[in-house]
Amino acid sequence: MKILITGANGQLGSEFRQLANEWPDSEFVFTDIEELDVTRIGLLHGFVANKQFDFLINCSAYTAVDKAEDESEIAYMLNVQACENLALVCKKNNIVLVHFSTDFIFDGKKTGAYIETDPPAPLSAYGKTKLLGEDMLRKNCNNSLIIRTSWLFSAFGNNFVKTIIKKASENNQLQVVFDQIGTPTYAADLAYAVLNIIHQYKISGNKLYHFSNEGAISWYDFAMAILELSDTKCDISPVLSVDYPVKAVRPANSLFDKSKIINDFQLTIPYWRHSLEKCINLLKK
């Protein structure tokens, strides 16, 4: 099996790098913008031509949620145009495209966990571009696997876990919202699940799934657990979202129902706190 990974220097792409050795029979090709600009379709066509890739795992994305409100054109290029480019190239070269989307495509007003068929209603520019990216992919690709995820964290890249540890070491007090509920997703768990899926199952047609770790918490609960497990001292106060203004509106409920991906691929998904502990242990090294 030959696998191309784009956006390989981010937190999710870096986790794929870490796991590649566990599949010695597969050939991995890791690229980021320096090697392959996914917004330029001509470069994409030239890069994949005659290389006979079986899968393209797209980890490239614009993820600066608040900046996207002012940088909508850049977000569109990376989250929408790039998806169309990748879909067209994969269709032409008979490559299965694996792509990642987000809880931000929902408005968070549902009571209970979101399933894949719930109607999207993004509240932010970021969420709108990610939803459009999904649409572009389904429209232009024959065989794909779209996985929506939430609250991604890792020992690599920029994320909430590393931000909380850094800010807590620099400040005596922090404020974190407690009225936004969801589930953290350890990027290593997501990458491992994807590699297991593509090595064991045939992906035919366009498939959509939800994936996060197990459990349900608020951002405040998550921050408290981060401080506890990292042995970091700081007073954290819970605040309402209306009292913590940001440019982009976040969904109040980001919970995902994961029964579809669990049942279709026989997955066992770890509890968020167990995975957080693994991540923080890596950060301590």
pLDDT tens across 238-263, in order? Answer: 999 998 888 999 999 999 999 999 99
pLDDT at 94: 94
HEC per residue, the chain: CEEEEECCCCHHHHHHHHHHHHCCCCEEEECCCCCCCCCCHHHHHHHHCCCCCCEEEECCCCCCCCHHHCCHHHHHHHHHHHHHHHHHHHHHCCCEEEEEEEHHHCCCCCCCCECCCCCCCCCCHHHHHHHHHHHHHHHHCCCEEEEEECCEECCCCCCHHHHHHHHHHHCCEEEEECCCEECCEEHHHHHHHHHHHHHHCCCCCEEEEECCCECCEEHHHHHHHHHHHHCCCCEEEEECHHHCCCCCCCCCECCECCHHHHHHHCCCCCEHHHHHHHHHHHHHC
**pLDDT tens across the length of the chain (285 residues):** 999 999 999 999 999 999 999 999 999 999 999 999 999 999 999 999 989 999 999 999 999 999 999 999 999 999 999 999 999 999 999 999 999 999 999 999 999 999 999 999 999 999 999 999 999 999 999 999 999 999 999 999 899 999 999 999 998 899 999 999 999 999 999 999 999 999 999 998 999 999 999 999 999 999 999 999 999 999 999 999 998 888 999 999 999 999 999 999 999 999 999 999 999 999 987
User: What domains, with CATH codes, occur in the chain?
Assistant: 2-217+245-284 (3.40.50.720)
Nearest to 174 by CA among 242, 227, 228: 227
Of the candidates 76, 126, 192, 209, the residue annotated as catalytic is 126
pLDDT at 250: 94
6/254 Cα distance (integer angstroms): 26
- Phi, psi torsion values for 90, nearest 5 degrees: -65, -40
- Phi, psi torsion values for 170, nearest 5 degrees: -105, -15
Instruction: Report the relative pairing of strands 206-210 and 173-177 from DSSP bridges.
Output: unpaired
Q: Report the predicted TM-score, pTM, of the whole model to 2 decimal places.
A: 0.95
Q: Is 271 a catalytic residue?
A: no
180, 241 Cβ separation under 8 angstroms: yes
pLDDT at 245: 85
Instruction: Report the relative pairing of strands 55-58 and 96-102 from DSSP bridges.
Output: parallel
Structure tokens at 267: 């997955």
Nearest to 182 by CA among 220, 132, 145: 220
